[in-house]
Structure 1
Amino acid sequence: MNALDYHSCAEAWESRATIRTRPRRQVEDDQRLIYPLSRQPLVLSETFMRECPQQRDFALTQSLYKFINDVVIFETEIVDRTARRIAKDRFAIRFPFACRYDAMTVVVDEDYHALVAMDFMQQTIALTGFEPMALPEEIELSRAIPAALALAPAHLRDALELICVGIAENTLTDDVAAFARDDTVKPSVQGLMADHLLDEGRHSSFWARLVRIYWHSAPDADRHCIAEILPVFLAQYLTNDIQKRFDFALIAQLPINETARAALRQEVTSMAYPIDHQHPLLGNILRLFRASSMLDSPCVQDALAHYLPKPRR
């Protein structure tokens, strides 16, 4: 695909921009969960179930607050920054007006997602009475993107940023889908995430198309340089350091003895996924590499060998 083949999706998006067209989601005062158990395995651990099962709703609510906080950071500080620069034609890669127009649509959607998420957090505080713990001021991308850009020559930093954001938008979709599919959580949470999912599905395709446009025109030397940096980005992006630090802070809030706290910290540490082909986000990341045609390049295949599924013998 080249830039001249790009046709704007904005008209179709406008008629289906779900977050902007749905009624306000209001959190229910019912017995369903505020956050999926599968996304906070701490509450299913042996020590938690034995020592403080009555703290489940507190732990799940704090986990929802972190998720919302992560979404706000992602939408307003990561995606918004890149999309806005593309929309205003202040990006090193020059895209035609149709691409820039769609990028501004992404800006509007993402900021609206953040607004709706913040509204839902305030509703949850009012319903549960649980004030948020100190929430992280950064997400994994806040470290991973700068770490990757620091290794790139100046003329490739915007291209690398585009690819990193494309990867992230494709992985967020899977996160949101986990909420939308889980019937144990409140209907408002399911509905909110289903609305978000429809928008993010369109956004992920948009970013894949832009990456594909860039990759098809990139010189071989630039492709090789970017390929060599991708493992650095992935190693930072797939770490669980920030989540583990949050879980440790959550454990510190629980009314249990120090022996139980130490056991919970050990259980949390053992839950981390290996940063290799077994990581659950790798499927979506590879989907972006395939959709953008990046994975067709031998240099990318070589650079990502550690992350590619191992052939069966």
Structure 2
Amino acid sequence: MKEPACTVEQTTAPLETTPRQASISRSLEYRDRWEARGSIRTRPRKPIDFAKEGHFFPTEKQPLLLNEVASSLGQDSRNTLLLHSFFKYLNDIINLEVKFIVSACEKLIDGKLPLNYPDNLKLNAYTVIIDEYYHVYVAKDMILQLRNQHPEFKELDYPLSDSYRSVIETKALLDEKYHDVFEILAVCIFETTLVRELVEFFNSDNIHPSIKYYINDHMNDESRHYGFFLDLMKYTWENLPEEYRAAIGTHIAFFVKRYLNIESDKAYNAQLLGHLTGTSQATEQVAVLYKGFDITPDIPIVKNVLTALKNSGVANHASVRTSFNAIGWQV
């Protein structure tokens, strides 16, 4: 009987994978996942079914409901409070995702930086841009649906998000030549702070089914972006001139703590409490609700940021460690 031919796997020793080959392989896997799972590629429009019941925002994520005055409001006012909270959530998405995430990806693609990004990484940046504009489109679509359903709804002023302020304030500390690279690293940090708790909050039983569907689709995209931006942060940091690492690293801790702050939420909630209750003491009452709260390394979202900084190699740099030591955090 004729012997069966040996397969390639049986006769050929495995080839070593170079870092560049590994990067290309991850890039192709990312593109395949985008083609198969990206919301813009695979999901229909997200109409809100107003015949169904449920909150538009998790009660557990709205500390105003712990306020004695706000907690005594009738159900209609409580629903209005949660609707306002959801509007702010959508507004933050619109502003952050276009102003910084898309901008960072465009800077990466343009190539006017002190390091060169490979074509496969640039191609994946295009998929992120497509996703983020789609997220803005969906958020805008939901806002219009809600406005049509609630024509009496009065939108409040939206304070600048802490994410936005953190970038602006950190850039003010840096020489202008470092700004573009810093923005890319800042966005990498934004996009690697996804926390399971947020999805769990929006999946609670009292959340409106249309909002659950929307959040899960959004987070499906964001979980994929996590891998892309973690790789991007690692590649950027490894290939930056040492001068850039030292200059930017000195301010990483300031940026992280400022980014994770909750001043924007406090300002908006004070405005919202005053709007709903007519109290002139809203700012003071909100301050009481947040009394004693501080951004510390044991908070889940902070742990995610620090883990991403370690896994990307950023936290290993002396300037970064020194910056965290200065605010009393050990990384």
- TM normalised by structure 2 equals 0.83
Q: Is 1:224 equivalent to 2:241 in the alignment?
A: no
Asked if the contact 2:252/2:323 (under 8 Å) is kept, the reply is: yes
The match for 1:146 is: 168
1:265 to 276, 281, 286: 286
Q: Is 1:35 equivalent to 2:52 in the alignment?
A: no
One-letter amino acid matched to 1:11? D
The match for 1:23 is: 44
**Matches of 2:154 and 2:229, distance apart in 1:** 33
One-letter amino acid matched to 1:301? R
Asked if the contact 2:266/2:287 (under 8 Å) is kept, the reply is: no
**Matches of 1:93 and 1:130, distance apart in 2:** 52
Q: Is 1:297 equivalent to 2:324 in the alignment?
A: no
**Matches of 2:300 and 2:69, distance apart in 1:** 25
Displacement of 1:232: 2.2
One-letter amino acid matched to 2:288? E
Asked if the contact 2:56/2:83 (under 8 Å) is kept, the reply is: yes
Displacement of 1:33: 1.0
Displacement of 1:133: 1.7
Q: Is 1:76 equivalent to 2:93 in the alignment?
A: no
Deviates most, 195-204 or 224-233: 224-233
Deviates most, 234-243 or 55-64: 234-243
Asked if the contact 1:88/1:100 (under 8 Å) is kept, the reply is: no
The match for 2:157 is: 135
* Partner SS state of residue 304, structure 1: helix
Q: Is 1:202 equivalent to 2:224 in the alignment?
A: yes
Asked if the contact 2:297/2:329 (under 8 Å) is kept, the reply is: yes
* Partner SS state of residue 294, structure 2: coil
Asked if the contact 1:2/1:216 (under 8 Å) is kept, the reply is: no
2:204 to 182, 190, 193: 182
- With over 3 angstroms needed to count, the CA separation of the structure-2 counterparts of 1:92 and 1:224, relative to structure 1, is closer
- With over 3 angstroms needed to count, the CA separation of the structure-2 counterparts of 1:284 and 1:250, relative to structure 1, is same
One-letter amino acid matched to 1:6? S
Deviates most, 30-39 or 71-80: 30-39
**Matches of 2:268 and 2:235, distance apart in 1:** 38
Deviations 1:206-249 (A, max 9, x none): 11111111222334443332221112212321222221111111
- With over 3 angstroms needed to count, the CA separation of the structure-2 counterparts of 1:307 and 1:136, relative to structure 1, is farther
The match for 2:15 is: none
- TM normalised by structure 1 equals 0.87
Displacement of 1:139: 1.7
**Matches of 2:284 and 2:248, distance apart in 1:** 42
One-letter amino acid matched to 1:159? V
The match for 1:109 is: 131
- Alignment RMSD, CA only? 2.7
Deviates most, 203-212 or 132-141: 132-141
Displacement of 1:273: 3.1
Displacement of 1:54: 4.5
**Matches of 1:4 and 1:307, distance apart in 2:** 40
**Matches of 1:174 and 1:84, distance apart in 2:** 29
* Partner SS state of residue 206, structure 2: coil
Q: Is 1:99 equivalent to 2:116 in the alignment?
A: no
The match for 1:287 is: 307
One-letter amino acid matched to 1:109? D
- With over 3 angstroms needed to count, the CA separation of the structure-2 counterparts of 1:148 and 1:174, relative to structure 1, is farther
Asked if the contact 1:215/1:293 (under 8 Å) is kept, the reply is: yes
Asked if the contact 2:60/2:201 (under 8 Å) is kept, the reply is: no
Deviates most, 76-85 or 144-153: 144-153
Deviations 1:124-161 (A, max 9, x none): 22334452423326322222112222222344333222
The match for 1:6 is: 23
Identity of aligned residues (%): 24
Deviates most, 131-140 or 172-181: 172-181
Deviations 1:254-273 (A, max 9, x none): 145546x4774343443x73
**Matches of 1:183 and 1:263, distance apart in 2:** 32
One-letter amino acid matched to 1:235? K
**Matches of 2:242 and 2:270, distance apart in 1:** 45
Matched positions, count: 308
Deviations 1:168-208 (A, max 9, x none): 11225557524543232011111111111111111121111
Deviations 1:10-54 (A, max 9, x none): 233122102442122222333311110111111233332235554
Deviates most, 165-174 or 126-135: 126-135
Asked if the contact 1:145/1:164 (under 8 Å) is kept, the reply is: yes
Gaps of 5+ in 1: none
1:191 to 192, 196, 213: 213
Asked if the contact 1:179/1:189 (under 8 Å) is kept, the reply is: no
